[in-house]
Chains A and B, each alone.
Chain A
């Protein structure tokens, strides 16, 4: 289906289902129960997960597939946001022109930066992209203030021209009149599920982008990108010019970032330069690594995990902790709460840093590798049990590692 083989189709369908049922999946606990604060099923967070998922997917095409570590990807996100808000100001509050222009502008911008940065690879490439992004960030704050509105950030105002909109058109980002902030609530056995237009819009875009990245990874083009990652020199020696491929990967991932920036502006029509600062680029690197660079689903999982944990951890303050640990003896309770409070609430960044270090040190393949290891562990266990239960004397359930000695000579003798 859609040019995918059976396995990938199944994979895509699972992803589509997971995405569309996010409002249920992130809302597992009943309202007013003690665990309700772990619910993440509100539109703002879900849309953020979808948006950062797109951003990380695009980053993964450059870093995971091609092996170029860019430390300046937030610049494209910022440019996309600015372009989208300008479309809101000049043309219409409909989201489509904004998103299309955001993607195009980010693509153009990344083509320029990529053309220059891709002349080098390795650490030099990282530093070149870092320098370019830092330059854009600083320019956005200083000289480009007429375009970016400096520290205040670019906002939509009533006095903007909006030449395509009529006098009575909606004042908020909309899909041909359907406002994105609209949502419906479903109450089911003390659970409250929220279905928001904005989230579903982002989710559908994310699914489309996931499909595109799946196709890229499976295409001959994707194969070349993987070859570049594993050994670029050898590829050059075989007479292949890799530059157009790396540039294409760079521009594609820049366009993903621009799309994410455009969607951010769609969810909240505001663009500021702080989206372009280099630590924001670091954040998408963290997401991709945490999920698993080079895998398709990893970056999305990483983005989801980080945004979800950020929301939940920031909400846990000392009062909440006191409620949780009230069963402990007093002195121990205080000690435990003190320790946990360092990592929650204000201390979320500490958790992020520790988590990130732990993943790079112990699990370079990210969550996906971790999941794979756990799955392998479970698979091996029942197999070993069956082998022992069979009692065939050899005690092996794994024919590959302990092949039975074939009595070749004996059969010949017979």
Chain B
């Protein structure tokens, strides 16, 4: 029982990442009707926002410290980061320690801006072209973004630790009545799940309870009619693109302590996110979220040793197997609307 519980927990953090990326993909597909192969790259750019902030906070200058001497009696040169110089060691150190959560503040404007530029500069011209062209041009864009990041940050993964306070693990089992030590769960993964839940809730609330969201939903249902009512639906969809880009970016920012960011991570997540979107149902936002968590949890169950002993290799292919079965049996996906992209 506790083993099953642990696997569910393990699946949640990966599932949250899948759900967030798939949510953004579905937003873009549902509003603009564009299949965005560059969405994984947006996730990766978000992660590198965290890396950038960490590097910025780590910038330092040298001072000659008279109180410390090396073995020859000369004063030592000490590296002091600008932050500590400006705010004193305590606040400066705390800021550097909290660089990952703080990068959210950096990532939101940057990712929204990237989303706007991408939509206005490139995607706009591809509304009327076939899906294959959209896939191809965004695939090319993903390669370009990836190579640009590789130039600035190198090809190796970069460590971005979580704040000191969240580095340990939590004996989660005790809280729900298992024996101590049975279910140990790292803090940061719990935080990632909570963060994802809040973010998903915020997106849904935004679409459900604001006038802006209402117009966007109306536009998703019938773009032309909304346009004829005198509403500039294109502008709103551009804003939604920026929002989807920010969601992917934030998913990337918070994922950095779990997986050290490297330039190729977007491509790795992209394939699975597409599978998630398809399983959930093309164009269905709740479907994307549900399928994200479902596939994350299934994947963690499949990597249990007991299951791997019965069906070897199942942990590698479970997601794809589920996707193939779903596509063949129920092409509209788990929660897709009838008639939307059912070909």
Contact = CB atoms under 8 A, between A and B. Distances in A.
Contacts of A126: 132, 135
B140 A120 contact: no
B51 interface: no
A131 B142 CA distance: 19
A132 B271 contact: no
Interface string A359-372: 01100100000000
A135 B136 contact: no
Contacts of B316: 135, 138-139, 141-143
A357 B343 contact: no
B98 interface: no
Contacts of A130: 271, 274
Contacts of A127: 274-275, 278, 323, 327
A285 interface: yes
Most chain B Cβ neighbours within 10 Å, of A124, A144, A347: A124
A130 B324 CA distance: 10
Contacts of A131: 271, 275, 320, 323-324
Main DSSP-derived SS at the B contact region:
helix
A1 interface: no
Interface in B152-202: none
Contact of A120 (B143, B271, B327): B327
B324 to A, nearest CB: 6
Interface string A60-90: 0000000001000000000000000000000
A183 interface: no
A131 B270 CA distance: 12
B269 interface: no
Contacts of A350: 143-144, 147-148, 151
Most chain A Cβ neighbours within 10 Å, of B142, B146, B275, B317: B317
Interface in B310-325: 312-313, 316-317, 320-321, 323-324
Contacts of B278: 124, 127
B343 A121 contact: yes
B320 A143 contact: no
Contact of B132 (A69, A124, A135): A69
Interface in B264-278: 267, 271, 274-275, 278
Given A127-B323, A139-B317, A353-B144, A360 B343 contact: no
Interface residues of A, number: 40
Interface string A272-286: 000000110010011
Contacts of B343: 120-122, 124
Nearest to B282: A123
A354 interface: yes
A353 B271 contact: no
Contacts of B139: 282, 285, 356
Interface in B92-145: 122, 125, 129, 131-133, 135-137, 139-144
Contacts of B331: 120, 124
A291 to B, nearest CB: 14
A116 B331 CA distance: 13
13 contacts: A120-B343, A124-B327, A124-B331, A127-B274, A127-B275, A135-B321, A141-B316, A142-B316, A342-B151, A349-B143, A350-B147, A357-B141, A361-B125
Given A139-B313, A278-B271, 19 more contacts: A121-B343, A122-B131, A123-B135, A124-B343, A126-B132, A126-B135, A128-B327, A131-B323, A132-B320, A138-B316, A143-B316, A342-B151, A353-B140, A353-B144, A354-B140, A354-B144, A356-B140, A357-B137, A364-B133
